[in-house]
Structure 1
Amino acid sequence: MKDSSWIRAWMGKKPAKSSAHKQGTRECVSTNHKQKAATVNFWRLAASVLLIQGVVLGTPAQAQQTEKKSLKYGELLEKIDQDEVTRVQLDPGTRTAKVRLMGQKKTDPPLEVDLLDQNPELIEKLREKKVELDVEATTDNSAALGLVANLFLLLLLLAGLMIILRRSSSSSGQALNFGKSRARFQMEAKTGVMFNDVAGIEEAKEELQEVVTFLKQPERFTAVGAKIPKGVLLVGPPGTGKTLLAKAIAGEAGVPFFSISGSEFVEMFVGVGASRVRDLFKKAKENAPCLIFIDEIDAVGRQRGAGIGGGNDEREQTLNQLLTEMDGFEGNTGIIIIAATNRPDVLDAALLRPGRFDRQVIVDAPDLKGRLGILEVHARNKKIDPDVSLEAIARRTPGFTGADLANLLNEAAILTARRRKEAVTMLEINDAIDRVVAGMEGTPLVDSKSKRLIAYHEVGHAVIGTLLPNHDPVQKVTLIPRGQARGLTWFTPNEEQGLLSRSQIRDRITAALGGRAAEEEVFGDAEVTTGAGGDLQTVTSLARQMVTRFGMSDLGPLSLEEQGNEVFLGGWMSTRSEYSEKISAKIDSQVEQIVKECHDKARQIIRENRVVIDYLVELLIEKETIDGDQLVQIMNENKQLDGEKLVVSG
């Protein structure tokens, strides 16, 4: 019945909008670009939401009106003629009339009648019958509600579009920032490390202290014509404190500080590394004077053209850019570069020359005094028992680096906490040293033939090492397994040994063969075990170095082999020897002769001291550990069959 103009207009526009929408969708879906397809799907969803919103806002109201009407327009006219209508209230906004009939209770709702666009007949009848007539327009909130809903959906669509655009811009921004430097920048380096926190490498500290003075008081050097060094290369084994020194320089200097790893320059895409180098030095020049620390520079500074197949072009481009930035046409005044590496032999010669790295500071393993200083630094924040002697620990740990000593005290602290003690004692430190050097402690062996054989093997090492005049003293002998070893004999040098003599090397070979010699003398050749496998490798290596590197054989003072071939030079593919086959046969003969002489000497010492060895084995099986001082005391207290005191064999 309802056929108003605004309903017809709405019914007519709906198909046109849907057709245009489908046409636009087909055009957008035809593109292959992912971003456009996502945008089209987004707008398709938005249009669907708008259509649903129109239906939700319009249809329920109409359905509600249909449910409420109770009279038709013609029925209303008939009831007016029959004088059954008492009151009519017209509503022009909704085109409805609320009618009250005669006999209807006041509590009953009025009847609703849908009106026409023009209702002159109705008005005329109401006047004729003198029916009470009111005109009251109700508030129509549907338009406002529709406007608010449309605005909300519009804002929702704009937010979704902004998210899509932001994602696309961020992805493109990442591509543009791919060549930017990834160096960590600190305006004032707050590393928390000062020179007082670095010990054991006093010579390196003194060299680097000048760099700090250059940055703080450059006039002291420029007054006499000195120039600030452009680069300092820290060279040393792993764990000696190269990175710690760089942190201390940054903490002392108080200037802008850039830190980056050499591996962060090199990428699989050509030109990215060079771009990052340019960006790094651009930022550094803007903040000069400043420090740049490049850790593990050998990742980017290897020799050019030395790789198999021509090398890595990307790495070489990065190195070329680094060489240009460090000392090129423009220069880099006010920038000091500190680099660290443990492979200086693989670096390019152009990188090591003065003007790029003016100084090469050797950061080597600390000596006795240096180890003591390192232990004092790391013992500051730990509860150490007053009876613990740091000097004794330093003497027992030759060859330990700063990182090893820090790990040693940390392991001792962990053992202390595990044993529920209040302070670290010497027992925990000794156990920590054994664990760091040899591994975790295993389950002790039961008293059996295997345990007795291992005891003879270890006592053989200890007795021969004690009797030889040029060998390091024995610290302890133990049958407690650690790591892969079923038993261990510890030797500790009395002093730092930078150079080794011929007699010292031969005594080391003889002591290393002591375990095998004891097995052969006590149990016979048929009962020899594989326990001497590691000893034989050490013996063969020392003997071969005596012949081919140190000139300690009948071949004379000849160096026939290098310390090691570099893999990056293709050494693993090259098997060419630097001597003839005749010399090679002589080398093998000399190695065999040295090992045989030392082996015979070891068996002789075992035979001469069999009584003491048997006694020590029984004691070791019972106690499982014998200290070095106790072993020497027992050997001096026991007498040979002739009644003479034990004398060190030569």
Structure 2
Amino acid sequence: MSTSPENQPDAGRGTWYLAAVAVMLLAMVAVAFMPSGAALEYGEFKRLLHAGKLSQLVVSEQEVSGILQADDLGALLPPARVKALDCAGQKQCPFHVVRLDEPFLVPQLEMAGVEFVGRRKNTLLGELAWWILPAFMLFILPRMMAKGGGMGSGGLLGIGRSHARVHAASTSGVRFADVAGIDEAKEELMELVEFLRNPERYRRLGGRIPKGVLIVGAPGTGKTLLAKAVAGEADVPFFSISGSEFVEMFVGVGAARVRDLFAQAVAKAPCIIFIDELDALGRARGLGGLEGGSSEHEHTLNQLLVEMDGFDSSSGVIILAATNRPEILDPALLRPGRFDRHIALDRPDLAGRQQILAVHLRRIKTGGGVDLAELAARTAGFAGADLANLVNEAALLAGRNGKDSVGPADFDEALERLVAGLEKKTRVMNATEKRTVAYHEAGHALVAESRAHADPVARISIIPRGIAALGYTRQLPTEDRYLLRKAELLDRLDVLLGGRVAEELVFGDASTGAQNDLQQATDLARHMVLQYGMSERVGLSSFEPANGAGGYMPGPGSRRGYSEYMARLADAEVASLLAAARDRVRATLARSRATLDALAQALLDRETLDRPAIDAILRPPALAAPGAAPAAPAAAMVECAMPEQLISNGTM
């Protein structure tokens, strides 16, 4: 996409204009510093001074200037010098002479009876200030006010103009074919495209196209790409601006930019206005901050509401907006008549990931053996941007290794880098640490394979990766899940505690490497108690988590907060869940101690174990699950989409 020519500043003409002004200023300063009158030598100056031929002297540190009595100079100076002074026919003419460092000049002037005045030392900076300031006021400042030089789009007089980037219809380049994995959203937006292409089809029936469409989704799910595809399919101009670009420190500027944006859009109708990160502009009024009711943010939001309310949808201008925080938007924005239609983008499912990968693989050269179905299954929980990054990372790895095409090994390494982090080849563990990490990861893997509801282990590694991970166990979901039962969550608790319990069982002590596991286990147990209603003692109450506060508090959708008694009861229930999980895991690992030792030794020997190597150690014999969690009733389910599980052994 490119910006239309009429919106681009005339940079070349502005540069020539400023260069001409600079040359003119330099010429004016040069003329100001150029001395005038006859140039005397210092000896001639002294001779004429004592002869009474000089008057009205001006003495500075650099020179002496004044009036020369030009009659009868032939008696004092040679004829050639008299002619060179060019004072013929004049009784008086100006002169100047370079002053030497002579300490007795002033007494000599007083003895000669000549009137003189002193002048301070002239500096180039001082003289430039006297010339540049008027020139700036006369030449440069009016241009800045009219054209916007140095003040962003619009300059001083145009500071209220919209900063929206206008993309021509012919240069969009993005179509619905470039957007995959969100078929339902494309079907919804195709109606907007049909209206922009053939508005009479709807107007003749009395139908009214939605004024605004709000696209909601997690980061990387394709909100901006989908808006560009709508503009590309409709073949209309596309105004793109971020919500933060409306708000300035000057009161009234944001509202003026909103008015200017809508005025430009109406002039170019039919067209699309796309506001990215709408939450920066549309945050609910009166929430947060100490700005008060008359803040610039609220002025800007009020103007947007007014423009959308008085906006005629039949004009052919459609407003698209994207946000990943719809809960903080002002309710007035979301009512019918403004953003009439809401489109939610979720992370793609298995089929959607396969379609997205196919779109991105068209742009790179792949070799044989790349299985899209398998790659899509291994990337559960990835958004569209994550999948694009995966394909790009694989291509970069192949190019770094001098390959002619991208193969399965490149995708394997790229996936490891994205999920677990970069391999830290310079981080060398001693023998004791390496053995501890091996048993830790073996404990995770063994418990995961021993639980009926746990995802199978795809890879175990004790190679340090990322910032603090000394090893990791990666599980691969067999299918996309949107509901999890209580029994499945209890199995997840067991897997998270498998590494810590293995260390205690083998070494009789614990290390700091389980800190991240304990944090995840505690969060999961607290969610089960306080959000999912999976505790008999706490009951079916659900409480919203506090944003970043670590505890729980009433949220916009919750019924009430809870008392200190409930807080103590919830803490006791969380501790009880973790203790029960620890006992189950200890029983499992104690029964399978030989298998645990075999897994740890294999990791010490090979550092990384893939699924075939894991199967060779675990089967035969097949492991029983004596400590498996009891099945939960069918009603104990929770909505969530769980990505590929990565359990890492890190340091505090």
Give the alignment's TM-score, normalised by structure 2: 0.72
- 1:212 alignment partner, SS class: helix
Counterpart pick for 1:254 among 222, 235, 238:
235
Residues 1:421 and 1:506: Cα distance change in structure 2 (over 3 Å): same
Q: Secondary structure at the match of 1:308?
A: coil
Match 1:473 to one of 434, 456, 481: 456
Contact 2:395 2:406 in 1 (8 A): yes
| Aligned pairs for 1:18-37 within 5 A | none
Question: Could you give the per-residue CA deviations for residues 627-649 of structure 1, whole angstroms, max 9, x where no partner exists?
Answer: 124313421224xxxxxx53344
Measure the CA separation in 1 of the matches of 2:202 and 2:35: 80
Q: Which has the larger radius of gyration?
A: 1
Residue 509 (structure 1) aligned to one of 493, 506, 527:
493
Residues 550 and 557, structure 1, Cα contact 8 Å, conserved in 2:
no
The amino acid that maps onto 1:461 is H
More displaced 10-residue stretch of structure 1: 488-497 or 189-198: 189-198
Question: CA contact under 8 A between 2:210 and 2:340: conserved in structure 1?
Answer: yes
User: Which residue of structure 2 lines up, in the alignment, with residue 616 of structure 1?
Assistant: 599
Alignment of 1:432-581 (within 5 A): 432-443=414-425, 445=428, 448-483=431-466, 484-524=468-508, 527-555=509-537, 557-565=539-547, 578-581=561-564
- Give me the whole-angstrom Cα distance separating, in 1, the residues matched to 2:512 and 2:437: 11
* Partners of 2:201 and 2:456 in 1: CA distance: 52
Tell me, yes or no, if the aligned pair for 2:598 and 2:617 is still in contact at 8 Å. Answer: no
Alpha-carbon distance in 1 for matches of 2:132, 2:519: 72
CA shift at 1:349, angstroms?
Answer: 0.3
Say yes or no: does 1:585 pair with 2:558: no
Aligned to 1:184: 165
Report the counterpart of residue 297 of structure 1 in structure 2. 278
- 1:307 deviates by 2.2
In 1, the alpha carbon distance for the partners of 2:25 and 2:608 equals 79
Maintained 8 Å contact 2:501/2:586: yes
Write the letter of the residue equivalent to 2:345. Answer: V
Segment of structure 1 superposing worse, 265-274 or 579-588: 579-588
Aligned to 1:416: 398
Aligned to 1:318: 300
1:304-323 Cα shifts (integer Å, max 9, x gaps): 11123336710100000000
- Aligned-pair CA distance for 1:351: 0.5
In structure 2, relative to structure 1, the CA distance for the partners of 1:449 and 1:237 (3 Å cut) is: same
Deviation larger for 620-629 or 364-373: 620-629
Q: 2:574 aligned with 1:595, yes or no?
A: no
Counterpart of 2:251? Answer: 270
Match of 2:343? 361
1:370-389 equivalences under 5 Å are 370-389=352-371
2-structure distance, mates of 1:219, 1:529: 71
User: Which of these residues, 203, 217, 225, is aligned with residue 222 of structure 1?
Assistant: 203
* Residue number in structure 1 paired with 2:372: 390
Q: Which SS does the other structure have where 1:358 is aligned?
A: strand
1:582 shift after superposition: 1.7
Match of 1:251, SS? Answer: helix
**For 1:486, what is the secondary structure of its paired residue?**
strand
Gap change, CA 1:319 and 1:611, over 3 Å in 2: same
Q: 1:452 to 1:285 in 2, by over 3 A?
A: same
Q: Which secondary structure state, in structure 2, belongs to the residue aligned with residue 585 of structure 1?
A: helix
Contact 2:211 / 2:308 at 8 angstroms: preserved in 1?
A: yes
Q: 1:170 aligns with which of 136, 139, 143?
A: 143
Q: Aligned residue for 1:635?
A: 618
Relative distance call for 1:189 and 1:233 in structure 2 (3 A) is farther
Q: Report if aligned partners of 1:189, 1:257 keep a CA contact under 8 Å in 2.
A: no
1:331 shift after superposition: 7.3
In structure 2, the residue corresponding to 1:410 is in which secondary structure?
Answer: helix
Q: CA RMSD in A?
A: 3.1
Q: Residue 263 and residue 298 in structure 1: after superposition, are their counterparts in 2 closer, same or farther (change >3 A)?
A: same
Q: CA deviation at 1:370?
A: 0.7
Conserved in 1, the CA contact under 8 Å of 2:249 and 2:296?
A: yes
Q: CA deviation at 1:589?
A: 1.3
Determine the C-alpha separation between the residues in 2 that align with 1:329 and 1:358.
Answer: 13
Kept after mapping to 1: 8 A contact 2:588/2:625: no
The letter of the residue matching 1:306 is L
Superposed CA offset, 1:200-254 (max 9, x none): 1111111111111110011222232211111011100111111111111111111
Rounded to whole Å, the distance in 1 between the matches of 2:38 and 2:281 is 67
* Contact 1:325-1:332 within 8 A present in 2 as well: no
* 8 A Cα contact 1:240 1:402, kept in partner: yes
Q: Which digits, 9 at most, give the CA deviation of each residue in 1:484-538, with x for residues without a partner?
A: 11011001111111111100100000110000111111111xx310111000001
Q: Summarize the Cα distance change of 1:614–1:188 in structure 2 as closer, same or farther, 3 Å threshold.
A: same
Q: How far does the alpha carbon of each residue in 1:593-620 deviate from its partner, in whole angstroms, 9 at most, with x for none?
A: 1111110000000000001111111111
Comparing both structures, which one devotes a greater share of its residues to helix? 1
Letter in 2 for 1:464: V
Quote the Cα distance in structure 2 between the aligned partners of 1:316 and 1:358.
22
SS of the residue 1:376 aligns to: helix
Contact 2:450 2:623 (8 Å CA) reproduced: no
Task: Check the 8 A contact 2:443/2:499 in 1, yes or no.
Answer: yes
* 1:559-601 Cα distance to aligned partner (Å, 9 max, x none): 342044499xxx8999x98112222221111111111111000
Unaligned runs of 5+ in 2: 1-21, 41-87, 90-130, 147-154, 629-652
Q: Report the AA paired with residue 610 of structure 1.
A: R
Higher relative contact order (CA 8 A, sep 6+): 2
Change (3 A) 1:352 1:49: same
In structure 2, relative to structure 1, the CA distance for the partners of 1:573 and 1:546 (3 Å cut) is closer
Paired residue secondary structure (2:220): coil
Shift, 1:447, TM fit: 6.7
Letter in 2 for 1:588: D
Distance 1:160 1:558, change over 3 A: closer
Q: 2:338 is paired with a residue of what secondary structure?
A: coil
CA distance in 1, matches of 2:396, 2:167: 34
| TM-score after normalising by structure 1 | 0.72
Change (3 A) 1:446 1:256: closer
Structure 1 residues 510 and 55, CA gap change in structure 2 (3 angstroms): same
Distance 1:460 1:44, change over 3 A: closer
Counterpart amino acid of 1:622? D
Name the CA distance, whole Å, in 2 between partners of 1:604 and 1:446: 30
Match for residue 213 of structure 2? 232
SS at match of 1:293: strand
Distance (whole Å) between structure 2 residues aligned to residue 416 and residue 311 of structure 1: 56
What amino acid is the match of 2:536? D
* Residue identity opposite 1:618 in structure 2: Q
Q: Aligned residue for 2:608? A: 625
Whole-Å separation in 1 of the counterparts to 2:620 and 2:548: 53
> Does residue 1:211 correspond to 2:220, yes or no?
no
Gaps of 5+ in 1: 1-37, 60-115, 118-157, 639-644
Q: Indicate conservation of the 8 Å contact 1:547/1:555, yes or no.
A: no
> Secondary structure at 2:225's aligned position in 1?
helix
Report the Cα offset of residue 41 of structure 1. 9.6
Kindly indicate whether the alpha-carbon contact (under 8 Å) linking 2:227 and 2:320 is maintained by their aligned counterparts in 1: yes
Report deviation, 1:164: 6.0
